[in-house]
Amino acid sequence: MRFGVVVFPGSNCDADCYHAIGAATGARVEYVWHRDTKISGFDCLVLPGGFSYGDYLRTGAIARFSPVMREIARFAADGGLVLGICNGFQILQEAGLLPGAMRKNESLTFRCQWTWVRVEDNRTPFTLLCEKGQVLRIPIAHYEGNFYLPPEELAEVEGRGQVVMRYSTPAGEVVPEANPNGSLGNTAAVRNAAGNVLGMMPHPERAAEGVLGCEDGRLIFRSVVEYLRGSGR
């Protein structure tokens, strides 16, 4: 079982992901360089957080044209698992692999804080070890995480159950006070229609060890392993 962590110029959570995935799952983890045009043998590709290409123009707008992105699109089209975290989520949106776009936070401030997210769908490869409705405590760290979709498209995405996590209170209430950035529908994580690509703004790799104050993030990586085992890999 092999995870790949994609490294763009400006990625800064790549080493954290590399460490956390290995520690949480015992699986093999390798870095994938943004220039790579040939990637093979991976079971799950992770696009980590950071400020790819300085986030110039828009977050993820330049990284989306990295050579490796063509391979990632192909990998995803073949059903490969792709997880985008924070900036990785933004890159996948820019690439059209996930719906929506991120506006600046409503507060116009960089939000670096613990958040609680309620798991709306535990049948995805990334959440199958969670209970439906389980509240995870995972931190966010971003300036552009204010999820937006035009109303009609949002209705379609909601209708297909693609919102996988929502910001909530610790008790699991999805209310405006629990929304750290203004995201429509308190959206914290979204999957593609097929379910094999997930983007989440909270950083599971920052909540994957007791010493960091919380281990909830391990559930995401372990779910992937569980899913891959179940699918015979």
| Min dist. Cβ of residue 66 to another protein (A) | 13
d(CA 228, CA 68): 23
d(CA 213, CA 209): 7
| C-alpha R_g of the chain | 16
d(CA 65, CA 203): 24
Neighbours of 56 (CB within 10 A): 11
CA angle 11, 64, 155 (to 5 degrees): 110
Is the Cβ of residue 63 or residue 224 nearer to another protein in the bound state?
63
Neighbours of 19 (CB within 10 A): 15
The widest CA-to-CA distance across the chain, in whole angstroms, is 46
- Residues labelled catalytic: 86, 203, 205
Is the Cβ of residue 103 or residue 137 nearer to another protein in the bound state?
103
Both structure tokens of 172: 């699991």
Q: What single-letter DSSP state applies at residue 50?
A: B
Binding footprint of another protein on the chain (CB under 8 A): 57-58, 61-62, 65, 93-94, 96, 100-101, 103-108, 146, 148-150, 182
| Min dist. Cβ of residue 227 to another protein (A) | 29
Is the Cβ of residue 119 or residue 189 nearer to another protein in the bound state?
189
CA distances from 119 to 18, 85, 132 (A): 24, 16, 6
Is the Cβ of residue 7 or residue 98 nearer to another protein in the bound state?
98
| Min dist. Cβ of residue 182 to another protein (A) | 7
